[in-house]
């Protein structure tokens, strides 16, 4: 069964604003990753947070993980038009196993 559920399904913001996407999952995880998919393209890895971590930063990205609530959030600060894409969270139960993806959040950033 599907592991992750993203919220919201779609998000429209203006350039310069922050975008927050949430992800919930159902079972224990080894780690949680966020991927970006530009329209008509493959997925690109953005950031990974391990089950024993609570927060991680990478450039304009900030990820939090709450294993007690089985949820994660991805914050993109100072968004740009180039951030327009679909964002997926993905989990795996054990290191190196296949990823289980959520349904994704479609982010639209207008200039």
Residues 6+ apart with CB under 8 A from 63: 32, 34, 47, 49, 55, 56, 57, 72, 73, 74, 75
Distance of closest approach, residue 31 Cβ to another protein, in angstroms? 6
Binding mask 27-56 for another protein (x = CB under 8 A): ---xx-x-x-x--xxxxxx--x--------
10 binds another protein (CB under 8 A): no
The correct pick among 7, 17, 53, 92 for binding another protein (CB under 8 A) is 92
Question: What b/e readout covers 75-103, taking b as 16+ CB neighbours within 10 angstroms?
Answer: ebeebeeebbbbbbbbbbeeeeeebbbbe
7 binds another protein (CB under 8 A): no
What residue ranges bind another protein (CB under 8 A)? 2, 30-31, 33, 35, 37, 40-45, 48, 86, 88, 92, 95-101, 103-104, 106
């Amino acid at each position: 069964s599907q592991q992750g559920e993203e919220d919201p399904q779609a998000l429209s913001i203006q350039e310069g604003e922050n975008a927050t996407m949430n992800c919930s999952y159902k079972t224990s995880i080894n780690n949680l990753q966020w991927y970006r998919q530009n329209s008509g393209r493959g997925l690109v890895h953005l950031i990974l947070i391990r089950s024993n971590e609570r927060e991680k930063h990478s450039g304009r990205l900030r990820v939090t993980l709450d294993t007690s609530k089985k949820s994660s959030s991805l914050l993109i600060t100072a968004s740009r038009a180039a951030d327009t894409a679909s964002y997926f969270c993905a989990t795996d139960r054990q290191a190196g196993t296949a990823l289980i993806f959520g349904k994704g959040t479609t982010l639209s950033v207008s200039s």
